[in-house]
Amino acid sequence: MEDNDDDYFSDEFDSLPPGTLFDLEQSAFQATQGQATQGQASQYQHSPTVPNNSTLHTQVKPAVRNSATLQPPPRLHTGLTNDYDTLEVGELGAEVHDNAGGSVALPNGHRMLVKEHGWPVNSEMGDAMEVDDHAGNISGGNTRLEQLEREKEQLRIELFEAKSQVQSKTGEIAIIRSKQAQLVADYDQQLIALRTAMAEETTKHKEMVEAAMSEGHILATENIFLQHDLAEEAHHLRNFKLKQRQEEVHPPVTPKKSRNLPFRDGFDDDEIAVVSPSKSATRSKRATPTVPGKRKRRASQDAPVPLQLSPAGELVMVDAPADELGLDREQGPEPLGRDQQVMKRLLNHRMLPDQEADIEALARISFPSEPGRPMSSMVLDRLAQLDMGSYVVEYMHTIGPLWQRALTERFYEPVPRFMNLARYILRMNDIPLPKLISPLVSVLQDSVEVNAVPRFRYSPAAREKARVIRPIPTPQSDLQPQVDSTEALRLLYHVASELLHVKDALQDFWRQIRHTFTLVMLHPSQPLKDIVLILHLLSTSIRPESFGPIMPSEGEQNDIQRWLVDRLSFMFSERAQPDEGLEPYTPHDICAMRLEVLLLLESLAFNPAAPTREHGSAIIAAHPNALARLFRSMHDELDALYASPPEQELRVALVNGLMRLVFGVIRRHGSSINMQEKLARVPGSKQKHLVVLTRLAFCDGSVLEAGIDDETVDMAHDLLEEWTNPQEADSLAEVFPSSRRE
């Protein structure tokens, strides 16, 4: 064995020719590498079975021994072959060791078996055991390869399915994105279309509003002319009725023929009697001729009074009985006849010409508390019981309690008819208006308060008392549209205006006006038209020594006057709040309302009916907050002018009027006014009053300040000089060198 090994590793290869060695290398390379590559491919496909150790030992042994020959056996080059299949040596991973030392390389498992059983170890056994070990590794590797191949195939299938799902999801996402893009485009188109339609509708609405406003101005102008014509016609009708009444009192009578006179010369006897009064009808009786020188007989003392003869041609008026002349028949029943005409007109009154009469409409209405009795029977029964000498007064005293009962029971259906009838009666001529105060004034106030009281609950003052800060407009559900508060206020103002020159009746009117009624109506939650009407109504209550409703005591009168001035001065800064669903008030409407407040305060401070009285101005001067609020309002109105608002004229009028009012009150009661204390009570007024006085005092009459009167500038200068020291006045003059006053 050792000799063979020595021969295998001998130097006989060096003596071979170069060509022979090259041919042997090429043959070995082709025989081993080519078949090894094919064998590896066949192993991956067929998984050959590794032969046992004995077979391998038998096959390997001759191969090793004959390895030194020039022509090695084919099996050495192509691999080990047995009955099962061909096995290449390279796949076994066997190593060629130098066996000179006699050592054998065995696997760990085989070495343990050899040690346990005491088997001899030689080189052939070692080679066989190594081949067996490599065969086991090949079998395990093939199983692992099959498992890996299956896992690879499974991963390939899963990858294909994942790619399919990704493609489907990508398609769905693309479809969704395209649909979303289409929806966005459609939405944009709809939005553009809506905005275009909204702009067109807004333009049309503005045109309609402008057309309606122009038509309203035209109708207002025509209404003024019609009212003027109606007043003229009423004046002519009144004159005609007066003339007709005078003719009824003194009717024209055909003159009776005078007595026949003896003259028949073709002339009228009356004319002859006038021309020759000395000739009379007694001319036929000749007088006794007097004898010359005979004295005329004197009249006896006891003779009767001589008869007074009428001159010739004079009509002899004989006192005829009154029944024959018809004077009592025409003069006495005349008021009754006129009253009958008024009664017919009232019973035939209709709300509209084409509607049924009031008495017919009331026949179909009854109170919920008394459903079996119509209101028309109540009216007729009440009229039959009253006897006040005037059918108008009786009818109003009949309608008033029914009206009040309807308000008490909250049955508002007949209220518009009663209100329309009251307006018709107040527009009649020659009505005893003082007698209508009692049945009208109270029920008109209650009619106004039907909607005024719910509005007052939503006013800022009431909500602040209830600790509710957020302003809420009055809901329409709390209002009664059948009761027109504006119309009721107009009727009250009409009655007060008609009684301006009847002092006692006007005082009776203001005794029946409740002070709570006036205070409730002076809140910004009320409609502006109602606020303006209550301001006009309060202007009729200015008296030389008092103002507002007449109270039973002087203390109560002073309290109500102070409260009214407090509400009026606060209205310059309060924000008006319309009802729910109505458009917000424009700045022009608010300025117009504040201008009415200013006119009322001016009338109170400088009473035109009593210019020398200072009662009204003393009320304003004594109020703790009124003057400070007026200064603050003056500053705010002047500050708004710098924005060039459309209502600039009204704001300029407010600035001029407020300055006149403040200056007049301070000039009258300056000694009793602690201005700094009053300004400290109203937040912001202490700084604003100096700012507004400075602006007005040094106003240069620019475009933004156009309309400020020179008197206003002079008044501001005077007040500023009083409340600033000379150094401050000089510094202000240097800051404003272009003052209009300079």
pLDDT, residue 330, reads 40
Enter the tokens of residue 638.
């002047």
CB atoms within 10 A of CB 422: 25
pLDDT, residue 443, reads 95
**What band does 325 get if pLDDT is binned at 50, 70 and 90?**
very low
Q: Mark residue 503 as left, alpha or beta (left: phi above 0; alpha: psi -120 to 50; beta: remaining).
A: alpha
pLDDT, residue 18, reads 61
CB-based contact 47:38 (threshold 8 Å): no
**What band does 162 get if pLDDT is binned at 50, 70 and 90?**
very high
Q: Express each pLDDT in 110-126 by its tens digit.
A: 455 445 545 554 444 55
Q: Express each pLDDT in 438-453 by its tens digit.
A: 999 999 999 999 999 9
Give how far Cα 201 sits from Cα of 196, 207, 210, 480, 716, Å: 9, 10, 14, 32, 49
Residue 593 lies in a domain: no
Question: How many structural domains comprise the chain?
Answer: 1
Residue 292 predicted with pLDDT over 80: no
Q: Express each pLDDT in 398-452 by its tens digit.
A: 999 999 999 999 999 999 999 999 999 998 888 889 999 999 999 999 999 999 9
Residue 37 lies in a domain: yes
Give me the chain's average pLDDT, please. 75
Window from 234-248, 330-344, 464-478, 638-652 with minimum mean pLDDT: 330-344
pLDDT, residue 140, reads 75
Query: Between residues 331 and 493, which one has the greater pLDDT?
Result: 493
- Stretch 168-177: mean pLDDT: 90
pLDDT, residue 253, reads 56
- Stretch 62-71: mean pLDDT: 40
> Which range marks the domain in which residue 78 is found?
2-133
Residue 278 predicted with pLDDT over 60: no
Enter the tokens of residue 312.
């010739």
Using alpha carbons, select from 52, 40, 33 the residue that is nearest to residue 135.
52
At residue 86, the 3 state secondary structure works out as strand
- Stretch 255-283: mean pLDDT: 48
pLDDT, residue 49, reads 41
pLDDT, residue 736, reads 57
pLDDT, residue 248, reads 62
pLDDT, residue 731, reads 67
**What band does 704 get if pLDDT is binned at 50, 70 and 90?**
low
C-alpha–C-alpha distance, residues 512 and 514, integer Å: 6
pLDDT, residue 496, reads 94
pTM recorded for the entire structure: 0.56
Residue 26 lies in a domain: yes
Using alpha carbons, select from 97, 100, 81 the residue that is nearest to residue 89.
81
**What band does 50 get if pLDDT is binned at 50, 70 and 90?**
very low
Residue 58 lies in a domain: yes
**What band does 355 get if pLDDT is binned at 50, 70 and 90?**
confident
C-alpha–C-alpha distance, residues 96 and 704, integer Å: 117
C-alpha–C-alpha distance, residues 375 and 378, integer Å: 5
Residue 488 predicted with pLDDT over 90: yes
Q: For the chain, what percent of residues have pLDDT higher than 70?
A: 65
Residue 700 lies in a domain: no
Tell me the Cα Rg of the chain. Answer: 65
**What band does 106 get if pLDDT is binned at 50, 70 and 90?**
very low
Helical residues (DSSP H) of 427-527, grouped into ranges: 437-457, 460-465, 485-498, 503-511, 515-521
Q: Is 121 exposed, middle or buried (0-12, 13-18, 19+ CB in 10 A)?
A: middle
CB-based contact 450:483 (threshold 8 Å): yes
Q: Is 656 exposed, middle or buried (0-12, 13-18, 19+ CB in 10 A)?
A: buried
Residue 242 lies in a domain: no
Residue 113 lies in a domain: yes
- Stretch 299-313: mean pLDDT: 44
Q: 80 phi and psi, to 5 degrees?
A: -80, 135
Q: Express each pLDDT in 640-693 by its tens digit.
A: 888 888 888 999 999 999 999 999 999 998 888 888 888 888 888 888 888 888
Residue 55 predicted with pLDDT over 70: no
pLDDT, residue 254, reads 57
Question: Hey, what amino acid is at 26?
Answer: Q
Residue 33 lies in a domain: yes
